[in-house]
């Protein structure tokens, strides 16, 4: 994105917790003071600073009402680690296409979302994510992240050890787009076929080789994390 001209208008959609440094405007579900708040409700400082007032639009991204911007108002739109969270990513993609001329989208990969130990060994991926996202050519595909995923061993790509993480090249789905975003939801309601697809993906992904890399941390922190993960993993086995 270094090639963006200085005069380009850039919007960060859903990035209120840590706005893209080049962004001129933020569109987010939270206010600047709320953005970045953790589970304890204490606001972070991601939304503080230069992007306030007229540079910040607080809106429900998925309420099916057009965002308050004219067509192609922005030269570039960034939407990073947002679509996996929202209830209607297809609508968000359509509005990205409408208000911006081009953009960049990034989400966690299915390898991340189908691996234990990413956030906790008790479940796969991140607990609050709604979608498994993949890319077919230049089209983003969204599959509902089913609850049974966490309990089907054959659907798990990797059991990530406490002091490791999914390698960067396998951890994200990235799409640089121009004109419009191509996106679709892959619908499936049959439990057997859902499980078969999850297991097939896990089998194929596991053939990629060493999917993890070390996470730099002190010996003490590594030991504490190891103990915590063993306890959580034991709880999962007993469930």
Task: Check residue 148 and give its pLDDT.
Answer: 93
In the chain, where does DSSP find H-type helix? 89-99, 110-113, 168-171, 191-206, 219-238
Task: Give me the residue spans of the domains in the chain.
Answer: 108-172+179-238
What's the rounded Cα separation, in Å, for the pair 45 and 43? 7
Q: Would you state the structure tokens that stand for residue 108, as one six-digit string?
A: 């966690």
pTM (predicted TM-score):
0.86
Summarize pLDDT for 58-105 with one digit per residue, the tens.
999 999 999 999 999 999 999 999 999 999 999 999 999 999 999 999
CB 105 within 8 A of CB 175: yes
Summarize pLDDT for 179-237 with one digit per residue, the tens.
999 999 999 999 999 999 999 999 999 999 999 999 887 777 666 776 776 776 666 54
What's the rounded Cα separation, in Å, for the pair 56 and 33? 11
Task: Check residue 97 and give its pLDDT.
Answer: 98
């Amino acid at each position: 994105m270094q090639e963006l001209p200085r005069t380009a208008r850039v919007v960060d959609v859903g990035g209120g917790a840590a706005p893209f440094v080049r962004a001129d405007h933020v569109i987010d579900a939270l206010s600047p003071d709320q953005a970045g708040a953790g589970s304890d409700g204490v606001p972070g400082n991601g939304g503080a600073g230069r992007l306030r007032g007229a540079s910040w639009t607080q809106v429900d991204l998925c309420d099916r009402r057009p965002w308050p911007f004219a067509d192609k108002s922005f030269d570039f739109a960034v939407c990073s680690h947002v679509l996996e969270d929202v209830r209607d990513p297809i609508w968000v993609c359509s509005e990205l296409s409408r208000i911006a001329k081009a953009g960049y989208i990034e989400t966690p990969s299915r390898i991340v979302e189908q691996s234990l130990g990413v956030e906790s060994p008790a479940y796969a991926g991140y607990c609050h994510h709604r979608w498994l996202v993949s890319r077919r050519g230049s089209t983003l595909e969204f599959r509902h992240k089913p609850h049974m995923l966490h309990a089907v061993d054959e659907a798990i790509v990797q059991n990530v050890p406490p002091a490791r993480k999914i390698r960067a090249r396998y951890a994200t789905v990235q799409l640089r787009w121009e004109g419009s975003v191509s996106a679709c939801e892959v619908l499936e309601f049959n439990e057997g076929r859902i499980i078969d697809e999850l297991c097939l993906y896990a089998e194929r992904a596991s053939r990629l080789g060493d999917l993890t890399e070390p996470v730099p941390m002190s010996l003490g922190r590594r030991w504490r994390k190891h103990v915590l993960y063993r306890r959580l993993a034991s709880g999962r086995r007993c469930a």
